[in-house]
Structure 1
Amino acid sequence: MQVGSDRARRTLAYLRQKISSGEWPINSKIPTEPELMRLLGVGKTTVREAVRSLASVGILEPMPGIGTFVRSRMPVSSVLIEYMSEFGMPDLLGYRRALELEAAQQAARNRTDEQLAAMREALQSGDAPVEQPFGPDRRKAPGQFHFLVVEASGNKLLASLYAGVVTALRRALLAGTVVHATDAEARLSDHLALLAALEAGDVAAAAHAMAQHIDRDLVPAGQA
């Protein structure tokens, strides 16, 4: 991520801090351009340069007429995303399952109290309850809670691969080729069961809770 002016670099650092700290959760909308200009005391060009830089690596996604949304807490490889797009939905969903199962097991061993607190907060706040660009809740991609579980694994490579998977899944949701098989209430129940397993440090229970959730979360269209 390269930006030109000192003001743009400071603006970029500010945006990244808000995202990496979780203050701006995954799938949440960041402040509008005029709001950022007032907040940071910079001009429109500076804000756009910083946002464009983060959008180029998949951290932000501007949606015309709606706003700019947080999509990842780390850069997402465009090469990885394009490679994943070559495979069918069953393959992509199976890969997601493998990553999240491993993440849940590692998180049960490695999670910190601070990470558990962040997960609880994500669930209590509705997992990024601000305006979503997908319309009905059934179009929502995996959000902050899932990213926090993956990050709690302590495996940076796994987290990087997962960010690419979620980007590919979001595209599939928008295209209607993958859908949610359960409603928001059922997904919250699954998340709470997983959180309880992580709090207990129970590796087997964490794997079981994650498997149960994934198997009834996203499915190819027509199988819901």
Structure 2
Amino acid sequence: MPLDAVRPSPLVEQATARLREQITGGEWPVGTKLPGETTLAKELGVGRSTVREALRALAGAGLVQPRQGAGVFVTATEPVENWPTRLRRAAVTDVYEVRMAVEVHAARLAARRRTPDDVTAMRSALEGRRAASTADDAAFVDADIAFHATVVAAAHNPVLADLFTEFTPVLREGLIELLTLTGLRSDDPNTADEAHEALVRAVADGDAEGAAEVLRGELEDPFAADPTSHAI
């Protein structure tokens, strides 16, 4: 199948997509050596630098591998999913289980490592959550997640912070759906406020196990048989 020239912009993305089609479509089986940069550039109607960037993207997806002095070879016909892509496809229950592990440990670390500024940020976010109790479910969930983000930040562990940030979009959708389906806020618009207050107090007091226990209790599985018995 001949390669058609790509449109002017965005060149790298289009070149990458066109080359990926060749690979995933079986035109270049695993083990095949790709044409040289000059040949690919001519067929795609782009510069060699664009081809080089496209090949780098394909290598990042696990589809090709450059071999010094030999060229670029196809190593797979299906791209390896990156972490954000996998999270977007994950079940919210799976994400919630990861949230439990990440946040409970983060709360424990936060109680040990918090600074005065961290405690101030947590208290401010708690007030923001309370203010959002009069808003719709989406705004309340956003305020709730913003509060939990301050707890994770207080752990001062960039890996935990990155994990929390990565799964937040999926978590947000799941929590909004949970509130919509269960009407959890109907009788208590500011649900679980006492637990959140207790969490701030435990972190501020340096009570690591107390903070972990409060958060573990708060994050009891909201997708269990009786979800109305749980908080967010």
TM-score by length of 2: 0.52
Alignment of 1:35-46 (within 5 A): none
Q: What percentage of residue pairs aligned between the two structures are identical?
A: 27
Cα deviation digits, residues 8-64 of structure 1 (max 9, x gap): xxxxxxxxxxxxxxxxxxxxxxxxxxxxxxxxxxxxxxxxxxxxxxxxxxxxxxxxx
Match in the other structure for 1:33 = none
Please point out which of 91, 100, 103 is paired with 1:100.
Answer: 103
Match in the other structure for 2:174 = 172
Moved more, 143-152 or 87-96: 87-96
Unpaired runs of 5+ residues, structure 1, are: 1-77
- Identify which of structures 1 and 2 has the higher relative contact order when contacts are C-alpha pairs closer than 8 Å and 6+ apart: 1
TM-score by length of 1: 0.54
Match in the other structure for 1:209 = 214
Query: How much has 1:221 moved relative to structure 2?
Result: 9.1
Match in the other structure for 1:123 = 126
Match in the other structure for 1:20 = none
Query: How much has 1:166 moved relative to structure 2?
Result: 1.3
Q: 1:128 to 1:167 in 2, by over 3 A?
A: farther
Q: Name the Cα RMSD after superposition.
A: 3.0
Is residue 112–residue 152 contact of structure 1 (8 Å, CA) maintained in 2?
yes
Unpaired runs of 5+ residues, structure 2, are: 1-80
1:190 matched to 2:195: yes
Per the alignment, in what secondary structure is the counterpart of residue 215 of structure 1? coil
Is residue 134–residue 189 contact of structure 2 (8 Å, CA) maintained in 1?
no
Q: Residue 206 of structure 1 aligns to which amino acid in structure 2? A: A
Q: Whole-Å Cα distance in 2 between the matches of residues 200 and 139 of structure 1?
A: 27
Q: Residue 115 of structure 1 aligns to which amino acid in structure 2? A: D
Per the alignment, in what secondary structure is the counterpart of residue 89 of structure 2? coil
Q: Whole-Å Cα distance in 2 between the matches of residues 189 and 140 of structure 1?
A: 16
Cα deviation digits, residues 87-119 of structure 1 (max 9, x gap): 323221111100000100000100001110111
Q: Whole-Å Cα distance in 2 between the matches of residues 222 and 88 of structure 1?
A: 19
Q: Residue 214 of structure 1 aligns to which amino acid in structure 2? A: L
1:154 matched to 2:159: no
Q: Whole-Å Cα distance in 1 between the matches of residues 161 and 114 of structure 2?
A: 14
Q: 1:113 to 1:101 in 2, by over 3 A?
A: same
Is residue 81–residue 168 contact of structure 1 (8 Å, CA) maintained in 2?
no
Q: Whole-Å Cα distance in 2 between the matches of residues 170 and 148 of structure 1?
A: 16
Q: Residue 151 of structure 1 aligns to which amino acid in structure 2? A: A
1:223 matched to 2:230: no
Match in the other structure for 2:75 = none
Is residue 122–residue 128 contact of structure 1 (8 Å, CA) maintained in 2?
no
Cα deviation digits, residues 172-206 of structure 1 (max 9, x gap): 345x3x44756443321111010111011011101
Match in the other structure for 2:55 = none
Q: Whole-Å Cα distance in 2 between the matches of residues 169 and 144 of structure 1?
A: 12
Q: 1:138 to 1:189 in 2, by over 3 A?
A: farther
Is residue 89–residue 220 contact of structure 1 (8 Å, CA) maintained in 2?
no
Match in the other structure for 1:65 = none
Per the alignment, in what secondary structure is the counterpart of residue 147 of structure 1? helix
Match in the other structure for 1:136 = 137
